Amino acid sequence: MREAVIHLHPAGPLLALVGNPNCGKTALFNGLTGSRQKVANYAGVTVERKEGRLKTAAGKLLRVLDLPGTYSLYPRSPDERVTVDVLAGRAQGEKRPDLVVCVLDATNLRRNLRLFFAVQRQGVPCVVALNMSDLAARRGIQVDTQRFSQLLGVPVVRTVATDGAGLDELRALLDQPQAWQSAPTVAVAEGDDQQRITTILRELGLDAHQGELPSDKVDRVVLHPVLGPIILAVLLFFLFQAVFSWAEPPKDLIEAGIAWLGEQVGNLLPKGYFRSLIVDGLIAGVGMVLVFLPQILILFFFILVLEESGYLPRAAFLLDRIMGSVGLSGRSFIPLLSSFACAIPGIMATRSIANPRDRLVTILIAPLMTCSARLPVYALLIGAFIPERTVWGGIGLQGLVLFVLYMAGIVAAMGVAWVLKRFTSSGRQVRPLMMELPSYHWPHVRNIGIGLWQRTEIFVKRVGTIILALTLLLWLLSSFPAPPPGATGAPIEYSLAGMLGRALAVVFEPIGFNWQISLALVPGLAAREIAVSALGTVYSLSATAEDAAQALTPLIVQTWSLPTAFSLLAWYVFAPQCLSTIAAVKRETNGYKIPVIMLTYLFGLAYLASWLTFHISRWLIG
């Protein structure tokens, strides 16, 4: 007797957006749903799930699902498998869509129509959003939407998702279920699709060659074998300079506000454990992380601009030869670039890599890309120990050091990939890169704004949950037990945290870490930013009465040597990222073997790099 499987899913009509990669589907999703979005994972898999709420012209609320981009309904990756399962009604925790909006790129109908006919064969009511119509018009491509609708047998709406054109018409159409057309009941062989597409394009007068496109002219420069890599290097260098120079004014403002808040609260509360909890634990700890939000947002701003403009696939193409020299393809570039924001989405993005060996190597080296959670640690140490001066041609020394740290992670990742290439037979196989280069677009302010707002929400939520909880736990461990009567020194030295810090210092003393640094590394395993918060809490509690009012930066300048600061920077270039990253690797590789290998080699690299940095710099400085 077969057991019935019950899938629970949210109530209400479901609208699914389907389309090829780079067709503007996500921009359409943002335009329809605005800020009414939530991001999670699909049940049972690590594929990102984006859902929003849409109000139609008549005021009806619909759930909108932005399905992963795909070229066909024959899945080659977990992302494409999710799209197929949702359309077939097999996705765990999700119903079959009541309506599908198939988003077609008006500049490339021949390729996009293949997916439309595959979706239509699923028998789900379907409408077409003919997107990027403005780009098509500039290229001389004029589509008669009424005739196009007659040929397809479904409603067609012309849209320009980046500026909202056509969205009101689409919302109005969603209030007319009688206009939605299901797929023909007579099965049509997929082999006939190409003939149908040719016929439709001929009927629309679009079968003629369009000639050279504007993107082709730009690519002659951007993809030039000499100029292309230089342009990419200049862009990345400018990014790291901007992270420091642009962020200073808002960072100083936030830092001053937190210092003022701590002083005011300290004056209001009576001396004791509660004041220490609020001032030394909550404000000093969490505040030290919040001040780095401007730098993180600047980093994400550049990544979003590069992604929105269509430049990222070009960067992957440019780096394909370099990646090939270490046994990878340019397709690994985008997951690795995503890891600069956070290693978790970078690791998840490796699902687009078809070759299993390349995917595994990319997962192993993704944590060596400097994620945004490391940025607060880098900013703290660079700001404290590297003078703010111009070295050459307007280039700031602090931004230059940050660039070197990022490059150290990249070089280390390429070195690990090269070693794996030398010791695996499959690593020596040549795998040519085949990927689509989308047309260039001006980045849209709305989409960038939504992306930055979502990143702010994620960061603040981390500060208000895991960082807050671990900061308060560290305060508790740093405050109890109380020192015995007549004890000298700071109370934290007699606490559980002080005992743990001194025990760990035995291990980390050879690389120049004192007990405060050693202790801060422990909560830093949960999230990199917590290391800064932990240092703020530990030094606030261990400061003498004279130093209690000082900020963290002057305290570490007084108590750390320059080799110690350099050693800690080297540690964070190589050390494993947060435990959430390790958990993501475990999920993606379905076991503990790869996470254990990753932890082992990264900890080994970190300790070796810190030891060499500490002793060489101490020898050079004398």
Task: Specify which residues 38 forms β-bridges with.
Answer: 51
User: Reduced to 3 states, what is the DSSP secondary structure of residue 326?
Assistant: coil
How sure is the predictor about 207, in pLDDT bands with cuts at 50, 70 and 90? Answer: low
Mean pLDDT for the stretch of residues 391-419:
85
pLDDT tens figures, 299-328: 788 888 888 888 877 887 787 777 877 888
CA 33, 34, 35 angle in degrees (round to 5)?
A: 110
Beta strands per DSSP E along 351-496: 390-392, 395-396
- Assign residue 428 a region: left if phi > 0, alpha if psi is -120 to 50, beta otherwise? alpha
Least confident window among 15-29, 118-132, 387-401 = 387-401
DSSP letter, residue 3: P
DSSP letter, residue 121: T
Q: Cα(571)–Cα(565) distance, rounded to whole angstroms?
A: 10
What residues contact 134, with CB distance under 8 A and at least 6 apart? 160, 163, 165
Q: Cα(548)–Cα(510) distance, rounded to whole angstroms?
A: 29
How sure is the predictor about 1, in pLDDT bands with cuts at 50, 70 and 90? Answer: very low
Mean pLDDT for the stretch of residues 145-155:
91
Single-letter amino acid code for the residue at 139: R
Single-letter amino acid code for the residue at 396: G
In a 13 Å sphere around the CA of 113, the CA atoms on its Cβ side amount to 21
Q: Cis omega before residue 481 (within 30°)?
A: yes
The four Cα atoms 135, 20, 83, 152 give a dihedral, to 10 degrees, of 80
Q: Are 568 and 381 in contact (CB under 8 A)?
A: yes
Selection from 287, 228, 225, 232 nearest residue 258 by Cα: 287
Q: Are strands 99-105 and 395-396 parallel, antiparallel or unpaired?
A: unpaired
Neighbours of 571 (CB within 10 A): 26
Q: Cα(562)–Cα(248) distance, rounded to whole angstroms?
A: 23
pLDDT tens figures, 69-112: 888 888 777 778 888 999 988 888 788 999 999 999 998 888 89
Query: Which two tokens mark 554?
Result: 């002057």
Name which residue leads in pLDDT, 294 or 17.
17
Neighbours of 233 (CB within 10 A): 11
Question: Residue 577's pLDDT is what?
Answer: 65
Domain-by-domain residue ranges, the chain? 14-211
pLDDT tens figures, 557-586: 888 999 999 999 999 999 876 777 887 788
14-211, what's its fold? Rossmann fold (3.40.50)
Question: Residue 185's pLDDT is what?
Answer: 39
Selection from 448, 582, 446, 452 nearest residue 460 by Cα: 452
Q: Are 38 and 51 in contact (CB under 8 A)?
A: yes
Name which residue leads in pLDDT, 508 or 177.
508
Say if residue 25's pLDDT is above 70: yes
Name which residue leads in pLDDT, 157 or 43.
157
pTM over 0.95: no
What residues contact 452, with CB distance under 8 A and at least 6 apart? 297, 300, 301, 304
The per-residue DSSP string of 184-195 comes to: PSS---GGGHHH
Say if residue 349's pLDDT is above 50: yes
pLDDT tens figures, 55-77: 888 888 889 999 988 888 887 77
Say if residue 11's pLDDT is above 70: no
Q: Are 575 and 520 in contact (CB under 8 A)?
A: no
Query: Which two tokens mark 471?
Result: 């900061």
pLDDT tens figures, 240-296: 778 767 887 888 888 788 888 888 888 888 888 788 778 877 787 677 677 778 877
Single-letter amino acid code for the residue at 586: K
Question: Residue 4's pLDDT is what?
Answer: 42
Single-letter amino acid code for the residue at 338: S
Say if residue 36's pLDDT is above 90: no
Cα separations (Å) of 457 from 47, 408, 443, 466? 20, 30, 22, 14
Q: Are 523 and 530 in contact (CB under 8 A)?
A: yes
Q: Cα(516)–Cα(502) distance, rounded to whole angstroms?
A: 8
- Assign residue 490 a region: left if phi > 0, alpha if psi is -120 to 50, beta otherwise? beta
Selection from 158, 150, 153, 157 nearest residue 173 by Cα: 157
Task: Specify which residues 156 forms β-bridges with.
Answer: 128
Query: For the chain, what is the mean pLDDT?
Result: 81
Query: Which two tokens mark 505?
Result: 């210092």
The per-residue DSSP string of 335-361 comes to: HHHHHHH-HHHHHHHGGG--SHHHHHH
Q: Are 559 and 385 in contact (CB under 8 A)?
A: no
Query: Which two tokens mark 496?
Result: 């559980």
Question: Residue 548's pLDDT is what?
Answer: 45
Q: Where are the alpha helices (DSSP H) in 246-292?
A: 248-268, 273-275, 287-290
Cα separations (Å) of 125 from 87, 347, 369, 473? 11, 35, 44, 53
How many helices and strands, by DSSP H and E, does the chain display? 29, 9
